Amino acid sequence: MKKLSLVFLVVAISFTAVRAQDEPVQSSKKQSKEERKESRRQKINEISRQAEEGVLVYRKQSIFGLQAKTNGYGFFYELGRMKTTRKTNIYRIDISETKSAKEEKLLGGSFIFGNPFIYGKQNYFYPITFGFGQQYIFGQKGNKNGVAVSGLYNAGFSLGLLRPYYLNVNDPNFGGSRTIKYSVEDSALFLGPDINGGGGFGKGWGEISIKPGAFAKVAMRFDYGRFNEVVSGLEIGMSAEFYGSDVPIMLLHEAKNFFFHGYVAILFGRRK
């Protein structure tokens, strides 16, 4: 009986010692967990305070834009990752159509509501640009009703897509009308008086050729979104594109390999 009591006593003492050792570890873990919670709470409070003061604070932003260019139109998507409270790295893709300043729409056929076409147009031109750059905030909003002003640049490579332009013409040798693109053999018909109208939007997609090049772009951005997590704004900028060979858009005007344009874009998107 005495031996059994002694065994119970030893077990009780060992259990007490183990608990005494575990308590500081558990206490330390509990304290560490509370510290992490407090750190997160302070960070959230700081972000909320900055947002109330009109400071743009985010981890990343996704922006879509619709743009009107001095030589066409287009749209773009931009992914931005904030590096500091003023600098953001941006990755951007633009898809647009570039037109010649010499383009003029005419009505084909003998009726007042004829099919429109562009006389002398040889190709549609669609530049697709892939760029990397930075956005720098010059001035924060100041409050929810303010406007944040930023400057940005991006540069990279461009893929120019050329799609043949088709016309529907009357061909006496064919015995009626037919749809053609420009060629030396059909140049008299393509530039002649017997044009019925354009060949249609579905023509030429299987005959696209690629013009590789490079581009650079600078712009000013005005963000007037009321809430920090929503992007609403206006972008005004200019862009220069250079291609390795001439881009033939119009037949009766010299082709070129350098394009410079200004643009205005409406922005919308989200921040996280």
Q: What span, in angstroms and rounded, lies between the C-alpha atoms of 232 and 151?
A: 16
Mean pLDDT check: name the lowest of 31-40, 117-126, 211-220, 262-271: 31-40
Q: Which of 171, 175, 179 is nearest to 200 (CA)?
A: 179
**Average model confidence (pLDDT) for the chain?**
85
Q: Where are the domains of the chain?
A: 1-52, 58-271
- The phi, psi pair for 173, rounded to 5°, reads -70, -25
Mean pLDDT check: name the lowest of 40-44, 206-210, 253-257: 40-44
Number of neighbouring beta carbons within 10 Å of residue 255 = 14
Look at 14 and 265; give whichever has higher pLDDT: 265
Which residue pairs from 138-144 have beta carbons closer than 8 angstroms and sit at least 24 positions apart in sequence?
A: 140/53, 140/54, 140/55, 140/56, 141/54, 141/55, 141/56, 141/223, 142/53, 142/54, 143/52, 143/53, 143/54, 144/52, 144/54, 144/226, 144/227
Tell me the pLDDT tens digit for each residue of 26-80: 555 556 777 777 666 655 555 555 555 556 678 899 999 999 999 999 999 999 9
Instruction: Please check whether residue 129 is in contact with residue 156, taking contact to mean a CB–CB distance below 8 angstroms.
Output: yes
Q: What span, in angstroms and rounded, lies between the C-alpha atoms of 197 and 181?
A: 12
Q: Which of 191, 201, 202, 205 is nearest to 106 (CA)?
A: 191
Assigned fold of 58-271: Porin (2.40.160)
Tell me the pLDDT tens digit for each residue of 128-186: 999 999 999 998 776 666 888 999 999 999 999 999 999 999 998 887 889 999 999 99
Q: Which two three-digit tokens encode residue 272? A: 């996280």
